[in-house]
Structure formats: C-alpha cells, structure tokens
Structure 1
Amino acid sequence: MPVTHPALRIAALTWLVPACLSAAPVDFVRDVRPILQKHCYECHGEKKQKSGLRLDIKSEALKGGDNHSPDIIPGKAKDSPLIHFIITDDEDELMPPKGKLSAPEIETLTTWIQEGAAWPEGVDLTQLEDRRNHWSFKPLQATAPKPKGEEIDTFIDAKLNEKGLHRSPPADRITWLRRVTFDLTGLPPTPDEVTAFESGIRNRDSGIYAAVVDRLLQSPRYGERWAQHWLDVVRYADTHGFEVNTERPNAWPYRDYVIRAFNDDTPYDRFIKEQIVGDLTQQDAATGFLVTASVLLPGQIGKDEPSKRLARQDSIDEIVVNIGQTFLGLSIGCARCHDHKFDPITAKDYYSMQAFVAGVQYGDRNLQTPEAIAAREEMKQVKFQIAELDKQLARFVPMAKSGVKRIMVSARENRDRFMPVKAKRVRFTIRDTNSLEPCIDELEVFTTAGDNIAHDAAVTASGEKVTTDRHELRFVNDGNYGNSRSWMSSEKGKGWVMLEFKEEHDIERVVWGRDRQGKYTDRLATSYVIETADISGTWQVVADSDDRQRFDTRDRTQPAFSTQGLHKNEVAEAKRLMAQKAPLDDKLQKIGAGQIVFAGTFRTPDDIHLLNRGDPEQPKEPVVPAVLSALGDLKLPKEAAEQDRRKALAEWIASPQNPLTTRVMVNRIWQGHFGTGLVETPSDFGRMGVKPTHPELLDWLATEFIRSGWSVKHMHRLIVLSDTYRRTSFLARSNELENSFDIDSESRFLWRFPTRRLEAETIRDSMLAVSGQLNVKMYGRGYNLFDKRGGLSGFEPVESFTGDGLRRMIYAHKVRREPEAIFGAFDCPDAGQSTAIRRASTTPIQALNLFNSRFTLDASEAFAARVKKEAGNDFTAQVTRAYQIALSRSPTTDELQDTVPTIRDHGLATLCRALFNSNEFLFIP
C-alpha cells in the first residue's frame, strides 16, 4: 500500500536514509541545485523572493522566509518547512504551485537535508549584493572647486557640459526679488521693497542682492515659511487622527518651537538633539517631534492585553518611522515585520532602534522652561488671590432651596451654596445633560473657613470615558481647569462622581464647571443633585438643579455669578468684589496658556524583543538599544536609563560622521528653493530612492553645512546668491535652449530655473498680505478653519475670517485628514502621512475655489479698498497700483486698455479677483 499522509511520507523517507548510507552522499551542485533551478528560482531567486525566501544563495536560503524561518534545518528533514511545502496535500501550501515534485526529487532534497544540508562555499552562481555598498552610506567625499564663492555654479556647469545643455539667460531683477522673497518668507515683496531694490540697482550697489537676502532671513516671516516645510515632513497636526480625531489642544507649542528655531538659526545638530532629548536642555516643547504622528487613544483600544500590546507597538513604530525618514532619509519601518527588502536594515536593527525610544509615551506635560516654571508660581499667587475673593463672594451666593430662582446652569462655572453641613463624602449625581456623556473639569468643595478640600479627597465615579491625559477621573480634583483636564462619564446623559475626605468637615459650598476656559458648552450637566454624607453614612440632599434656570444656548453671556436676589446694600459690595476678580480670572487664563505641551512623556523603557512578523504575541529574543548595523556599532546595555538612550541616539544622528544626516537636510533646503532636491526622493536615500543628479555638489554642500556650524541660513545664502538661482524660467527662442528642453524638460540639471506653483498656505497668506488684511501675530493657540476642532465627521468650514482668522495659515488649527475647504484643493497635506515633497496637481476645483469662494470675494473687496485708499479715484492710477501690489510691476499699455473699462463697468474688486487668479500671482517665476 502506498504511503499518502505527509507525516508518514516524511517518516518513510527518513527511515530509508540509513539504508542508503553506503551510497555516495547527496551532492549539492550535482543533485540539489538542478532541482532548485528547475522548480524554485523563478519565485525564490535573484529577481523575485516570494515570502522573503531566496534559494539561490546559501546565506539567504539557510536564513529562510518571512513566516517560517529557517526553512532548511540541517539534520532534521521532517522539521524543515521546505520539505513540508513540497510534500503537502494542501493545494494552498504546495510548492511549487504548478505541480508537485517527482518522488526522486523529493527523496533527494529530503536526504540532502537529513545528511546535514551540505552547501559548499563559493559554488553559488550569483553573489549576494552588499547592500551597504550604496552611495548614501559612504562617508562624505567633498572636493571644493574653484573659484571660491562660486562652488555651486561650478558643479552645475560641469554637469551641464557633460549633458550637452546650455544655460538660459539671467532672469530680470524683479523676477529674482519675487522668487527669493517667496522662497524665504512665503509672501510677495511689498511695493516699497521693490522700489528700494530698484534704487539700489540704479545706484550700482554691489551688495544689494546680499542685503535683500539678509533682510529676508532676519524677518520673522522666514521662520514661519520654513517651519511649514518641516511640519510637512514630521506630519504635525492639532488632532490625534483615526476615527474620533480628538483635539490635541496643547500641540501648538511644538509648532512654535520650530518657527523660533528657524528664525534663531538654531544649529541643525542642536535642533536634532532638542527634538529627541529636549527635556535634558529645557526645550520640552521640542520633544513634540517624537509624538507628531497619529495615535490611538485609550478609549479606542481594546481592553484585552493583546490589543494593548499591539497599540503600544504601533505608537513606538510611529516614533521610529518619524526619526528614520526625517533625519536619516530611510524607511526603517519597513523592517518591522521582516528584514528590509532593499536596504541593509534587518528586523533586529528595527527593534534595536525601538529600544532607544521604548520609554516614550504620547501625552500632555508641564513645560519645564524657566519661563514656564515662573508662570506656574505666578499662577499659584493669582489662584490664592481668587480664592480669597471667592471666600468673600460666597456670602452673596444664594442658598440652595432658598426660594430665590438663581442664575442659570452655566458651562463655565456653577456655585451651589447651602447651609453648613458636616460631610465625610460629597456626591454629585447627573440626571441629564444638553448632549452626550456629562463632563466636569473640576469639582471643588469649600469649608466654612473658605478652604477647598477637594484636592486631598479620594475620588470614585459611576464610570469614566477615558482619554489619556485629557478625560480621566483623577483630573476632577487636580486643581486644573479646562476640557483637557476633566472627567467624563461613561454613560450618555448621566453618571455620578463622589469625593471622600480623610475626616469629616463643615462644608457650605460646591463649585463646578463643564469647562472653565469657556471653549466647550456641550456635555453640560443641566439636571443634577448634590448630596452629602456625614461620618455615620447618612445622606442628605444639599442642592438641586431645580433651583436653577436651565442652560440656554442662545444666551452664553450670562455671568457665573449674579447679584440677582441680593439686598440693595449687598449689591455694591458684591459688584466691587466681582470687579476685582474679573481681571484675575483673565490673567489666570493668559498665564496658563502655553504652560502645557503635547510632547514626549517618559517612563521606564519597555523590554523590547525581536517580533516574528511584527506580531507582539510572537516575541523572540530580547534586544538592546543599538544603531543601524550598516551605519555604526553603537550599542547600550539593557540597563541604560531612558533619557540616556535618547541622548545616545540623538548624538549618533547629529554626528558629523553620520553620512546621511547632513546629506538629507541640505537636500531638503535645496528642494525648498528649486522645487526638487538633488535627490528627488527627499525621505528615501536608500536603494529604492533616486540617485542624486549632482552627487559631488550634494557632498560639498553637506560638508559646507558642517563647516558653517550647521547653519541653515548659511545654506540659504549660498543657494539664492548663486548664478544658478538667478536663471530665467522662461524660454527665449533659440535652437540651443530648445535643444536643452528636449534633453531635460524638467530641468533636473538646472539649465533654467524650474518654475512652480505656490503652495496652498502661501497662496492664502499672499492674498491676505496683498489685500492688507494679514494679521502678523505670531505663536499661540491656532485659529479655527472649521466649526469644531475635532470629532468624527461633519466639519463645516469657516467661510469668513476676522481677527486671528487672518493670521498666516501655519497658525491654523490643523485637523488631521480633513482638507481645508478652499486651499486643501491645492495639494495641502492633511498630516495623515509625512509629506516630504508636495506634488502640484491641476484640477477644475482649484479654479472654482479661488474664483468663487467667500474668502476670495472678501479678500478682493479688501484689496480694492486698499487700492482706492492708496491710489485715489482715478481708474488708471487704481489699475497701476493694483498691479504694483499684486505683481510687483506696472501694467503694460495693453493691460491698461483692457482693465480700465472693466473696473469702470464692474468695479475694482473684479480686477482684484482676476489678479488673484492669474498665473503670475500663483507661480514662483
């Protein structure tokens, strides 16, 4: 009877082996390789490695595939996955899939493995490519050409000669001025700046170009412009992402840190270190870099342990991915499940990098800068003053059940006063809300002596809807106001929270609010009861919402404290105390703003293991912090402290000996000026990235970057003052230039300046600047582009803007994965993924948005008002001034003839709208 079951078949084959010992051993070259060549190399050879398995090279074959390594276990044929796959009766697993091997072939492979899988060295037909032998992993090779000061142009000219290309003519001076002003500040030059520049040219001021560049680099607008490039790469946003997309109200200090760093020309090596280990140098906000990516909140993670482990893995992975692509230009995250398919990054390398940041968590924390520490001390003093005034005001708060209809329930603050009672416990029970689950930012209980005793109480509740570092039960009595430090019930419309004191107290007042900062009015307890229990455990009701007016969304200006129901002789005194308290409340809010940052928070590092297929439920051997093996041998012991790990990582990345760090950054700077980097894939310097067009220039720039003290502004000066940067983007009619266009239509070798459309933020900012509306206020909490700052869906765009809404777009509250209504169509990133380079699309919706949106109509009206104010009522003067403001030039005779009748018949705002939609306004020349 034939043997059919796979397990029995293996047993039969291995049983036969001893009988064959007298025969010659199976020879790999003669017997085994022909079988592999015939049946396996097509899918597991040089060109293709399905399931990560390669069988034409010894080292790779013995290592095995992704899901079942090793596939060949010498001396153990029956345990080797390779044998299982060639004998199985499961059609989904059988290899090769086109048909089973013959019995002799199966016997040969089985015997070969059982005999020890002898595979002589040096017999492989192909050699495994050394993936470390790649241009980006090699040390910098910088040769400075002559003459000094013209190095960039010398490198560019050499490549043009090599390719048979010819330079385009120089651009006119105003074209250069618009180009460099947009590049360095993201705004057009003003008419006064154009006039001053032209005057310098007429006076033959040899330093006028350098003077313009220095002025632009000193402008606060420079940091705002170049911070946007950086925030694109690190995918900064003001919400967490995923389905709920909850707000991150304290993310913006990191955005402000980046703006300041560029304006201050913080040396790039220090910039790197501050973002990884800024808590060591009082730059806490900088560590916002570690947690810029999306993250699941506790309420979005399953309660089972495997779900928690997977979520933790995902959160650490985002940090490693961010570090790899931002600083090193490498896709390290591809090695999470298996060795990188293209770059010399093993799965062990990946998990060793994880170990550097295994103690990093996402969350809010207090800034530890001297300014923040001083501010918190000042906050204590202001809170003490407010508490003293509250004690005096308490006697004017109407008593509960007094028969006086008291002030309506308020989202900001509610004071429930009652006759003094002895209390060991206070329970606040919510019966109804104005929407969703009830939320309380702070529950305060005051004694007859005026002391708030809630801080020291033990807290319990009916349940809590947890959002880490935002909605947690511990926040209900932590002394911090606002939605970001509040308790939220787990039940819709109801719930209770109870404070229990260490001893019995005489209390007379409970103060509470939904959001003392006044940002949120939803989730407000509109029906509630307050009860107290003495030491015997007897409960009694001390206050009930039935004694209050209901919350009215149409009247949100009602103060939290009212003189309603007071005697005439009490009103004046109460108003005096309220007048003293109001500025203190405002001061408290201002001091508190910016003292908390959403950034890296740190704890004892997790134990990191190499994971099979990236699965947290399949841990293998433990790993210690170690850098990528292809780029160094730095390794830390398992006992290394959390901060020491990040410090070592930062110093390795920022080392002048790291060949990737400076190459990646100077390439990003180059891209910011020419639209495309010397390396076209700015976040992928690996083997799947594009090779540099000018490798010698890239290395010279990287070396010069280090020599300059890692100065980003120095690199700007070198680039924008080069002759290469001054070339025109427009083609004059000549055979030479037409030939250049045929050879290099995209101008990758820079025979002409590659024109490009302005980015979304620059278009919006420029429209505001030209119309005279731009609010140049810097820093702080972002303004709203939508009617809400987070949530599931249904973001209604704000259509008309005033005040802070007229600030630069970098200061907008950025909702992750929600494109801005008008300028989102202009390829504005949504922070879902890193955007290392913006691809410029052309779509009908862009023209429709820019021509018909309320934003454009408002800006056009404001622009027209500005022009009338500056040019008077003469139509020709108005047209001339409009062109000078928007396009930095006067109109031609033909343009005047066309536009004067237009504004006479349809109004000046029509011309202003047309200018906003012109290519000359929308493109960097």
Structure 2
Amino acid sequence: MYNRLYLLGVVLISAMFFLPSCDNGDGIEAESSKMPDQVSYNFHIRPILSDNCFACHGPDANKREAGLRLDIAEEAYKALKETPGAHGWVPGKPDESEAYRRLISDDPSIQMPPPESNLKLTDREIRLIEKWIRQGAEYEKHWAFVPPISSKLPEVDDENWPKNEVDFFILAKLEESGLKPNEESDKEALLKRASLDLTGLPPTLEMMDEFLADNSAEAYEKAIDRLLSSPTYGEKMAVYWMDLARFADSHGFQDDSYRSQWPWRDWVIHAFNKNMPYDQFITWQLAGDLLPNATKEQILATGFNRNHKITEEGGVVDEEYRVMYVTDRTNTVGKSLMGITMECAACHDHKYDPISQKEYYSFFSFFNNIKEKGIESSVGGPETYAKRPLMEISNAEVDSILTFINKKDTLDLIVSVMGELDSIRPTYVLDRGVYDRQTVEVQATTPESILSFGPKYEKNRLGLAKWMFNRENPLTARVFVNQIWQEIFGRGIVSTPGDFGMQGALPTHPELLDWLAVDLMENGWNIKRLVRHMVTSATYRQSAVVSKKKLEKDPDNLLLSRAPRHRIKAEFVRDVILASSGLLNPEIGGPSVKPYQPAGLWEGATSGRGILSVYKQDHHEKLYRRGLYNFIKRTVPPPAMIIFDGSNRDQCEVQRPITNTPLQALVMLNDPTVLEASRVLAGKILKESKDSEANIQKAFRMIVCRTPTEQELGILKRYYDGRIQGLNEADAKELLAVGEYPNPPGLDTIQLASLMQVIVSIYNLEETISKT
C-alpha cells in the first residue's frame, strides 16, 4: 500500500508543478513578408534550391536530370543540352531563365518541381528567386568559408533593453519579426540558471540568500564573476570537452580493458579554470609535443588525440587498425575544431562540400606519423593502461610541475600521448578508404577551399595548429563560439555544430556569430570573457515563460524571444542530487569512480578477460563524486547516464540530444543515488528542526532553488502528513535501507522515511532537473 500511495503522491505533485507557463498578451504582429533589399544566394536562394531542386539538379551526377546542375554557377549559366538556346539562369533576365520559367509554369509537363514530387515553392520563394536573378543571379562562396567580419551593431527601436552587444543582434531580429523579448527572469531562477550553466551545480542556500539580499545594480555581475572563478567552472566545461574528445576509461572493442587517460582530464579542468586562451588550449592538444622544448604539461595535453578506441583483440591486422586510429583523429579534428564533415571524403570526393578525397588524405597525413601500432598487447599486459607512445608521470612531477593532477591513492601514471616518428611515414590516397589499397602519394596540407596552407607552415601538427589560428581561417573561431553558445542557450546559432558545410544548418543570427568570432580573436581567444559576454546579456536573463502567440510564431525559440527551458545533461542531474543533499564529494580530478549500478551488466557484456570483466563498485566518499568522474566503459557505459542521453564516447560528439522519456522518470524514482540522497537530506534537516512545514520548505529551496508557493507547500505538507499516518515501522525501515551513508542516530524512523519520500517527490519534479 505504501508504494502505491508513494507513487500516487509523486504523480500528483509532478503533474501539478512546473508545466511550461503561458500567457496571452505580447502584441505579436503578423509575420512580415518584406523582401530583403539585397537577396543573398547563401541565405535566401540556396536553401530553396537545396530543398526543392538539388535532388535532380545538384551535385549527385548519378541522379542529375536534363544535364542541368544548379549548385554551381558556371553549370547553371551555360546552355542546356536538351533545350538548345536555353539557360538555367540568365543573370538580370528572369523571363529568359529556363529554370525560373518552369518554376512559375502551370503546365504539369514542364513544371518544376514536378507535381509528382509533392514539392512546391511558396509565392515568396518564387519572388526571392526572381529578385535574385534581376540582381544578377550571383553565386557566393559558402558563408562558412568566408572569414568572419565584425559588422556594425544593428539599430533597434528599444534602445533601453540591450545590456551588451549580443542583445542588439537578437533584438533587431525580434523586432523585424514583430516579437518582443520577455522581461528579466526573477532572481531565484536567474541564479539557478547561471549556476547550472557555469558550474553544473545548483546554488547553495547561502548563495541564494546573499544574492536575494544584494539590491545593488551590480549584484548579478558579481554573482557571475564568483561562479566563473569557482574551480567547479572547470569541471562543468570539461563535461562538454570530454564528449568532443571522446574520453573514456576503457579501450573499446570486445575485450574493452582499462586505460589510464584521466590525468589528461585533470589537465582539461585545470586549463579551463586558469582560463587558458583557446588558441593555446588547442595548440597544446594538437601539437604540444612538437613545441620547442616541450614541457610535460604540453605533452600531456596531446592525450586529446589518443583518446580514440584501441583494440586488444588477437588476430587483427595491425595496419588496418593503425589506419583506423589515424582516421579517427582526422575526423575528430575536422568535426570538433573545424565543424566540417571530413569523413565524407574518405572514400570519394565530398559530395556537397569542396573537399576532394586527395585533400582528405593530405589532411590525414598530419596524424599519420605517430609512433604507434594497431595492436600492441593482449588483455592484461603491462600496456593495458596506455598504448605507446606514452608518458609516465612520477610522484615528484605531480608535487612540482604537474600539481593539478590528483594522484591520491593511485599507482605510477601512464598516459597515451602523441609522439612523432623519427622519419616521415608516406601517406597515400586509399581507394574507397580501404587500408591496403594505396594509390597516389600525398603531402600534408589542408583543404584549399577553407584556407590555403601555404609554404610558411611546418608540414606537421604544429603547422596545422598555426593554420587553424590564422586570422583568415573562417572556421576555427566560429565553430568554438557556436559550441559555447550551444552550452549556454541549448542550441547553437548554427544548429548543426559538427557541420558548417553546405548540408549544415544556416546560422539563425549570422552577423552575431561573426561578431562574437571576431571579438574572441581580437581579445586573445579569452574563453571566460566569451562566456561572461553571453551570460550577462539581456537575452540570457529573460524569463522562460512562453506565450501562446510566441509558441505559434517561434515554437523552437530560434529567435530567442524567451529563455530556453530544457533538461540538464546526465552528469548534472547526478550533480544536482548530490550537491543539494549535501552528499557531494567536492574533490577535483583524479581517477574515475564506479558508483551504484544494477548487477550483472558488465559481466553479461564481456569476453570474461581482463581487469574490467567484473564490476567492482566503489565505496565511501568515492560514491559521491560528480558525474564527470563516472567510470565509462565503452561497451557498457553507465546506464543512468545513457538513459539521460550521456555519451558512450565511442567517437567525437559535439551535440547531445535532449529528451524526456519514461525511463528517465524510472531512474529518478528508483536509482539508489536519488533514494540515498533523499534519505540523507531528510536526516540532516530533521536533525536541525522538527517543524515539518519549515523542513519541507527548506528541502524545496535546496533542491528546486526557489521558495515554494503556498499551494505547492500545502500539497507537499499533506503528502507528508499522509505518509506519517500511513507508514508503519517495518515499512519505514525498508524505505530507509538504501545506500551506504549512515543514518544519524536518534531520529524517529517514520518521520525520517516520510520526509525522505517527500524529498524523493521534489527530486522528481520536472523543474528540479531542468534549466528554466
């Protein structure tokens, strides 16, 4: 009976609280159909052609019809083979442009797109194409391959709303669309949002009280600066970088034994906390070992490109797997640092972006000269912990030059790093990407369409890093700015952060993206400055309330007329639970840990060999470490993390999905960590006070980070009173028998179990694990 009542209470409370808020009045005008003064091929025409025309008249020669190709200017302008004297586009003359004439035709036999395709251009799209032709039908180089320039801040009607430059770009687009931004969020919600975004942790009661009591004009900025200076900032930022760098604690593949890359993770946390400039942060990771008189720290940073999967299975072909590792590094750098789908050119010329297969293997060459093998040892051998080339770290070095490494209770450290061969390994174009089908030899260089590599750079990874941070490189700053924007606002200005190419999404605010990119470069690639600029904007400070009209006009909040509202990442769900309950172990860095996990998962998915064949749960303070430090075995990743959309780190991931599934609710209702945290928090609160209403209010503030309304408090109090009446001693003891953390002595068992269940219910509120 008590389980049914418990579930009923959770359902009622969860249903009542925190559905997205709506109001009716924001005075939205009808969407403007105003035509742009200057029609852009990149931003106006190409999206129309891509959606409606390129399937038959685009880059795929096998599907191209009528010999007409519309994605390349010279092809689109030339005479058509099947219609003598006709041309796809005739600059300045829509009536003589055969493609346009067919777009506006009512004759089904010549109409384009053909009626059977179920595609049809809108009147506005046709008018855009007509105006573009009249203006010269000019094709443009792809926007992402043109170096960013800092445009003048746009003019806005409401000059009082912007707090910094970001807001002018956002507000200009809102006003153009007939929308108004939301009012600033209340202080409690704003502090929680900023704390989650900058540290991954909820604010403490002390932080909340201090912020609420500070009525100065600088109160918010002061709070932001405190959060940015906290060492937990580096841990929060490191979560995103672990996905991008495909960091894990095992090698992957079937045997999937242990690897000791965690000192590299300690370095990443350290680099973010000391605010290492982004150009240095990346240069060290790409080529720290090639810097003059490279230090141990610089070499350690190159672990970034040794985080890929490594086989330990017998019978594999050494060269096949070595090539696989080089391919992984090539694709990871392309996707994570350049926002380009380089992998599409491994087997043939890129179908959509101007990157040839030869250019792919020329880029591949930068990573092909490492002193490594495809297979080096069997499971359980001494090289299990890292694969050559490797770096050993001594106690003396941790005490002196690598003080950021948390080496407590660990053996000598071995980390896989980058290291060049003494000679140059030749690189060849591989026919269809097959490791042993070498064709022509190539030299290290970069795609010409992005930025010429030129003779001034070394033909190695250090030269590549210098090329990436050339002021004329169009991608590096844009891609990073977009990733940070995605971390703060939930969606990038370019919603495809790993694809800035032709098939990627267009930026919603291209001028803002470029302004931020240029500002980053001109201010020393300062990461904290970039983050601060975003979180102190009026755009960021808006309420998340959404009106019906805004929901209809901008359902995905692309224009940012309100603050985004979405579930936080898997690691931070764990962090919120541990931090709010007081269980969190604040230790920074060190080896990964193995918290509670359902029995038998590892054992059922292993070859039975190696030191990771059996799951050995950690105990004591290790159970309460942040989600960042959860042990990730690639073949059997942490189940709670995966249910909350965590990555198994098989490959570079620059964007996690955001979901809300029944399985996530089951985790929050049954995970031992949630239940233990609820029990521990209940015990701590009861130790201080026996006032049930005050205790519930305190728990609510600690978990949800705001004061509950009278209605909310009343519901929770009635639920608590019902538990007091409904629980017997045996049931209460059963509920409390979860987790290793001891109960405080001297407390009433039924009161403790009742408050525990109320707290479980609060943890299960949508608002608790959402950023609002």
* TM-score normalized by the length of structure 2: 0.71
2:659 maps to 1:841: yes
State the match for 2:734 in structure 1.
none
Does the CA contact (< 8 Å) of 1:238 and 1:814 recur in 2? yes
Tell me the residue number matched to 1:677: 492
Q: CA deviation at 1:57?
A: 7.9
* Amino acid corresponding to residue 502 of structure 2 in structure 1: R
Specify which of 180, 185, 200 is matched with residue 214 of structure 2: 200
Cα displacement (A) at 1:467: 4.2
Report the alpha carbon displacement of residue 719 of structure 1 after superposing the two structures with TM. 0.8
Answering whether residue 455 of structure 2 is matched by residue 622 of structure 1, we say no
Distance 2:207 2:630 in 1: 28
> Structure 2 matches for 1:746-825, cutoff 5 A?
746-785=556-595, 791-792=606-607, 802-825=620-643
**What residue number does 2:452 align with?**
633
Q: Is 1:137 the counterpart of 2:130 in the alignment?
A: no
Does the 8 Å CA contact 2:426/2:441 hold for their aligned counterparts? yes
- How far apart, in 1, do the equivalents of 2:410 and 2:188 lie? 46
Equivalent residues in 2 for 1:324-473, closer than 5 Å: 324-361=334-371, 467-468=376-377
DSSP-derived class of the 1:860 partner: helix
**Aligned positions of 1:521-600 closer than 5 A:** 593=411, 595-600=413-418
Q: Which residues in structure 2 correspond to 1:12-23 (within 5 Å)?
A: none
2:284 corresponds to: 274
Residue 652 of structure 1 is matched in structure 2 by 467
Q: Which runs of 5+ in 1 are unaligned?
A: 1-41, 62-128, 365-465, 476-481, 487-588, 732-736
Give distance in 1, aligned partners of 2:178 and 2:424: 57
Once the two structures are superposed, residues 771-824 of structure 1 have per-residue CA deviations (whole angstroms, 9 ceiling, x without a partner) of 111001111111124687994489777788531121111112211142312232
Aligned pair partner of 1:289 in 304, 307, 316: 304
Distance 1:591 1:804 in 2: 12
**Paired AA for residue 464 in structure 2:** L
Distance (Å, rounded) in 2 between the aligned partners of 1:218 and 1:691? 34
1:211 partner letter: K
The match for 2:324 is 314
Q: Is the 8 A contact 1:363 1:601 kept in 2?
A: no
Q: Pick from 720, 733, 741: which aligns with 2:551? A: 741
Letter in 1 for 2:448: S
After superposition, the C-alpha distances for 1:35-54 in whole angstroms (9 at most, x for unaligned) are xxxxxxx9997347366999
CA drift at 1:237: 0.9
Q: What SS does the corresponding residue of 1:321 show, helix, strand or coil?
A: helix
Counterpart of 1:909 in structure 2: which amino acid?
M
- Measured after TM superposition, the shift of residue 361 of structure 1 is 4.8
Residue 169 of structure 1 deviates from its aligned partner by 2.3
Q: CA deviation at 1:902?
A: 3.0
2:702 is the counterpart of 1:885: yes
**1:14 is matched with which residue?**
none
Say whether 1:664 aligns with 2:479. yes
Q: Is the 8 A contact 1:252 1:780 kept in 2?
A: yes
Flag the 1:254–1:821 CA change in 2: closer, same or farther, 3 A: same
- Does the Cα contact within 8 Å between 2:336 and 2:498 map onto a contact in 1? yes
Matches within 5 A, 1:22-41: none
How far, CA to CA, are the matches of 1:796 and 1:756 in structure 2? 36
| Residues 145-204 of structure 1, C-alpha deviations (whole Å, 9 max, x = no match) | 278962111100111122222222221111111100000001100000000001112xxx
Which residue among 215, 220, 236 is the counterpart of 1:209? 220
- Contact 2:197 2:488 survives alignment (8 Å): yes
Amino acid at match of 2:196: F
1:254 matched to 2:249? The reply is: no
* Counterpart position of 1:725: 540
Aligned ranges for residues 148-227 of structure 1 at < 5 Å?
A: 150-201=164-215, 205-227=216-238
Look up the equivalent residue of 2:151 and give its one-letter code: T
1:613 aligns with 432
How is 1:221-236 mapped onto 2 (pairs within 5 angstroms)? 221-236=232-247
- Give the distance between the partners of 2:366 and 2:699, measured in 1 at CA: 56
The 2-side partners of 1:809 and 1:851 are apart by 18
2:451 is paired with a residue whose SS is coil
Task: Within 5 Å, give how 1:17-166 maps onto structure 2.
Answer: 46-47=57-58, 49=60, 56=67, 133-145=141-153, 150-166=164-180
In structure 2, the residue matched to 1:550 is none
CA distance in 2, matches of 1:829, 1:131: 40
**CA radius of gyration, larger in:** 1
Higher alpha-carbon deviation: 655-664 or 738-747: 738-747
The amino acid of 1:667's aligned partner reads N
- The alpha-carbon deviation at position 751 of structure 1 amounts to 0.5
What does residue 601 of structure 1 align with? 419
Q: Is residue 505 of structure 2 the alignment partner of residue 690 of structure 1? A: yes
Secondary structure of the structure 2 residue equivalent to 1:596: strand
Paired residues in the alignment total 587
What letter is aligned with 2:300?
A: A
- Name the CA shift for 1:53/1:310 in 2 (closer, same or farther; >3 Å): farther
Cα distance 1:131–1:348, how it changes in 2: closer, same or farther (>3 A)?
farther
Alpha-carbon distance in structure 2 between the residues aligned to 1:721 and 1:52: 50
Aligned to 1:94: none
Larger deviation, residues 825-834 vs 129-138: 129-138
Q: Is the 8 A contact 1:667 1:682 kept in 2?
A: yes
Shift of 1:610: 1.5
Residue identity matched to 1:863: L
Partner of 1:918: 765
Deviations 1:217-266 (A, max 9, x none): 11111110011011112221111112222221x21112111111111111
Please give the alpha-carbon distance, in whole angstroms, between the structure 2 residues aligned to 1:234 and 1:917. 32
The aligned amino acid for 2:248 is A
Distance 2:209 2:657 in 1: 34
SS in 2 for 1:921: coil
Distance in 2 (CA, whole Å) between partners of 1:854 and 1:609 is 53
> 1:846: Cα distance to partner?
1.2
Change (3 A) 1:807 1:666: same
Identical-residue share of aligned pairs (%): 32
Is the contact between residue 257 and residue 384 of structure 2 (CA under 8 Å) also seen in structure 1? Answer: no
1:43–1:50: 8 Å Cα contact kept in structure 2?
Answer: no
**Range with bigger deviation, 161-170 or 877-886:** 161-170
Letter of the structure 1 residue corresponding to residue 323 of structure 2: Q
Once structures 1 and 2 are overlaid, which stretch shifts more, 848-857 or 768-777? 848-857
Residues 352-401 of structure 1: CA distance to partner in whole angstroms, max 9, x if unpaired? 0111111125589xxxxxxxxxxxxxxxxxxxxxxxxxxxxxxxxxxxxx
1:855 is aligned to 673
Q: Structure 1 residues 190 and 594 mapped into 2: Cα distance closer, same or farther (>3 Å)?
A: farther
Aligned residue in 1 for 2:403: none
- Distance in 1 separating the partners of 2:409 and 2:677: 34
3-state SS of paired residue (2:460): helix
Unpaired segments of 5 or more residues in structure 2?
1-52, 73-136, 388-406, 728-753
Give the deviation of 1:770 after TM superposition.
Answer: 0.9
Contact 2:451 2:472 in 1 (8 A): no
Helix, strand or coil: the match of 1:241?
A: coil
Preserved contact between residue 147 and residue 474 of structure 2 (Cα < 8 Å): yes
